[in-house]
Structure 1
């Protein structure tokens, strides 16, 4: 027994891992030893609280911190064995990390802080504490710790939230974390806006808000959070005084994920350039030195990583807008007005790049929600000059902000400014093409902003010698042939527009088109079904079993229809229609006039009106109107009535499924191709191009609300080739050609020969190389010769870098 007590004494003082193992096997037998260590931990905790206030020696504090860290790990490991004694452990860890009252004072630093955080994560994995307690401690720390520890905290938070929402949405956890992130962003909203023009003028505050935006972006990217509250956090950060936080929020809505982390695209390009130089250096080393399998494997890995990085960067250049986030904005009109006020108020302290970011987001919000922020057009006029930096992005923002509800009188000065600055003989052809394309995109969304005299001058540029200018002018002419041919001269309207102008009036501002009364190309689908039935019956058409075959095809046509539909739809099933609805009429009877009269009398009775002798004149007028309507219908062409009959026949027999609509699109495309090949003219070609474009961009609006710089610049005569295109042309030129350079002494030569002088010099013994003529001349060289060689070497290195 004495030996056992002595061994226990050793365990108490020096061997905590072994004591931890014994406690996990027999918690009750070693409770006394645990309490001894726990009391020691409490005494060190109080000592640390006191020493954080009063200064102590560094050596003593380091020694006590190391012992304190070991005790923290020990207590955390065996906390599940003694839950009653360790019930205050989480609160003690929180006070160590965040200070008393959740502040930043009296907190641990360095390795001790890392130890406490790791043990907190371990307690969460053992389910001693829940996710909410852990995240309430870790989220405020993410902006205070160094980068190495920050990566651990960030990964822990993201993994915990994702795991908690894996099976079902953990709404309680999501609400708590989103409230914490919202508070992190809101805490710095009252600061002073410094801007990004003057670097180093003052230390910007907003680290917590920056990390909050990054956390939201990660959760949105992983599809863990996709609700309106998530968007509201980033919407608040879009007006943060810290420009970096504001830029990250703007990039979230614009869809550019690389810049959302605060990384600039130029830094990414520099990194790719450095990686290419590293690959070239490695190839050079393998040529001049000894090469082996290890170096070849390393070079292949470096090339693979460089190509992957370059492809990712190239894919991220054309950023797509974050459509769901833009749609989930709460009160978009107020959001757009605040964006414009922020842009206008801080115009002098924001850089041009940041102002263009705000313009892009504002224009997209205006285009999506059809907002009217009229001050934006008067603000953007001063940037509409051809010598303005990044003017193409400004033109894209202008065009995206216009929609059919934008007042034309506000846009007319903008169109005049574009014509005066971009479209005149004093500028280059690319400038004229960009101006005409910008005017065309603005007029596509609001045609009434164009003046007739100005339009006549602009379309005269279709006689230019430059291809880009001619294409832009013809595009503007073709646009007004479709939307408002009355503004063109008779000789410029074209055949189709001149024929369609009679009886077709252009809709005025604020008026919308009537709903479609049928499905275009439905007769093609019916003919396709008839041909299928004819083939099934052995070449004999029989319409008796048509209805039965169509019903059998319906079940297959609805497969996966809910997967292909939009996720935001609320169609949970069939909806019951009340029998009392008088507006709904489904009738196959031929006597429709009598039913209409009965329906009208029924409505008049509900309104309290009675048909008496004094109202005979009204009924006579109605009879006359009905007779006139019958005469008009009878005078209609026979082919139109047959087409209407075909449409109603197919609609009565079949409910079109998503598979039927897909087949209908294919049939329409096939018919348009046949018409264009058989000489249908330019109208058939335009219809074919529209159908092919709609097939490529399924689900997009026909107005193409979001543009790119390439659409504003138009086709250019000599566009600069990209790095990939240059490499591809170089490789094509090397095909079937012998490699440059001498083959003397190389393995490719048929007859073996001696090694070259360069190889001999490389394998020369060091003592012979030291006393060689080349080395001796370097030692005897004058200062002037050394300067000349050094300058030449520096110039060579500069050329290699560029």
Structure 2
């Protein structure tokens, strides 16, 4: 038994060397590739029996094949499907390290253009529901980066429309994490100038009436022309966790805590956020308000009616309602809409005890 384990260890240790040799001269190592494939095949069957059990040997074998399979397209073309199938079937019970390894292998294969972008997206969106923050962050970053690079190299309208329809379908889903990541993808790609046409803008507008407050708030910031706010509110993978907390509080209306300690913490966060904004300003970042998105809406009247109808039902955070009222007022101003119910609704907030009266007046000025 010990001798077998030692032999297996030697075999695993030799994989990096074999990998380099296979890449240099694939034709000379077809037999070795077949042998490694058979080894992977048997390990995959064992893995499927107990997916919750981590296996470093299997993980190394997967990464080895991910590196060399592009050099052996005849058989290697089936490799991505095997990984996708394993993740689809066992992602909920799979050990975190194994799940990460399989995803990394797929990302590596996709970076070498071994399959289309849309092929892994359904599975990736399933993984957004997994309690693994690092994995979710890496997958989301890969999806956005992949679409950006794909459009930089060769812009295919057919592929882009297919991807947009996919994200739009996910945006309408009731599963919160799935819808939030679809929304975040739309916003990221819009702000990077990849998807900025009227078709995308009108698809995104559907999220303004999504039941999830964070999705609606993030898109409201986008349509109001804010180039920095919104995205951190729907992604828990924000670079600055404290800023994410602030955004979350703003969306949910959790302000004015009574405890002094909370006030001190909030003051520190505000100061840090201000310093960060100042640094961005020094770098010459353009933070001017843009009306491009809101001007591309096809049916602003219906959208404004639906958003106002949503607010009329009540039960949502106060600051969120103010944000949406600001958006409605902007829609009325930019598209010259007739929305008679808006003004009586705004008057409800113009009372002597209203602490945010300036924001209400700002909406009226629009």
1:374 aligned residue: 340
> Once the 2 structures are TM-superposed, how far is the Cα of residue 324 of structure 1 from its aligned partner?
1.1
> Once the 2 structures are TM-superposed, how far is the Cα of residue 312 of structure 1 from its aligned partner?
4.7
Ranges in structure 1 where 5+ consecutive residues have no aligned partner: 1-7, 56-60, 189-204, 278-304, 401-802
Equivalent of 2:330 in 359, 364, 376: 364
- 5 Å matches for 1:64-83? 65-83=55-73
User: Cα distance 1:171–1:236, how it changes in 2: closer, same or farther (>3 A)?
Assistant: same
Distance 2:321 2:76 in 1: 55
2:261 aligned residue: none
1:43 correspondence with 2:42: yes
1:355 aligned residue: 321
Distance 1:251 1:13 in 2: 51
User: Cα distance 1:254–1:33, how it changes in 2: closer, same or farther (>3 A)?
Assistant: same
Distance 1:88 1:186 in 2: 32
CA RMSD of aligned residues (A): 3.2
User: Cα distance 1:150–1:30, how it changes in 2: closer, same or farther (>3 A)?
Assistant: same
Ranges in structure 2 where 5+ consecutive residues have no aligned partner: 1-6, 234-243, 251-263
User: Cα distance 1:260–1:74, how it changes in 2: closer, same or farther (>3 A)?
Assistant: closer
2:159 aligned residue: 173
What's the secondary structure of 1:99's corresponding residue? helix
User: Cα distance 1:355–1:25, how it changes in 2: closer, same or farther (>3 A)?
Assistant: closer
Distance 1:40 1:77 in 2: 16
Distance 1:383 1:120 in 2: 52
2:294 aligned residue: 326
Q: Report if the CA contact (8 A) 2:77-2:114 is conserved.
A: no
> Once the 2 structures are TM-superposed, how far is the Cα of residue 142 of structure 1 from its aligned partner?
3.9
Distance 2:163 2:84 in 1: 17
1:771 aligned residue: none
Q: Report if the CA contact (8 A) 1:12-1:37 is conserved.
A: no
1:19 aligned residue: 18
Give CA deviations for 1:369-412 in whole Å, capped at 9, x if unaligned.
11112122222222222321211111221232xxxxxxxxxxxx
Distance 2:60 2:279 in 1: 47
1:260 correspondence with 2:259: no
Equivalent of 2:86 in 96, 108, 118: 96
Distance 1:90 1:272 in 2: 49
- 261-270 vs 238-247, greater mean Cα deviation: 261-270
Equivalent of 2:138 in 129, 152, 165: 152
Equivalent of 1:394 in 332, 344, 360: 360
Aligned residues: 332
Distance 1:41 1:167 in 2: 34
> Which has the bigger relative contact order, CA under 8 A and spacing at least 6?
2
> Once the 2 structures are TM-superposed, how far is the Cα of residue 14 of structure 1 from its aligned partner?
4.9
TM-score (norm 1): 0.38
> Once the 2 structures are TM-superposed, how far is the Cα of residue 235 of structure 1 from its aligned partner?
1.0
The answer to which structure has the higher helix fraction is 2
Distance 2:344 2:270 in 1: 46
Distance 2:274 2:318 in 1: 31
Distance 2:167 2:300 in 1: 22
> Once the 2 structures are TM-superposed, how far is the Cα of residue 362 of structure 1 from its aligned partner?
0.7
1:339 aligned residue: 307
> Once the 2 structures are TM-superposed, how far is the Cα of residue 352 of structure 1 from its aligned partner?
1.3
User: Cα distance 1:84–1:265, how it changes in 2: closer, same or farther (>3 A)?
Assistant: closer
> Once the 2 structures are TM-superposed, how far is the Cα of residue 145 of structure 1 from its aligned partner?
5.7
Q: Report if the CA contact (8 A) 1:121-1:134 is conserved.
A: no
Q: Report if the CA contact (8 A) 2:219-2:230 is conserved.
A: no
What's the secondary structure of 2:26's corresponding residue? coil
> Once the 2 structures are TM-superposed, how far is the Cα of residue 365 of structure 1 from its aligned partner?
0.6
Q: Give 1 or 2 for the bigger CA radius of gyration.
A: 1
TM-score (norm 2): 0.79
What's the secondary structure of 1:258's corresponding residue? coil
1:244 aligned residue: 214
Equivalent of 2:114 in 113, 128, 132: 128
Distance 2:270 2:334 in 1: 40
Distance 2:70 2:167 in 1: 31
> Once the 2 structures are TM-superposed, how far is the Cα of residue 350 of structure 1 from its aligned partner?
1.0
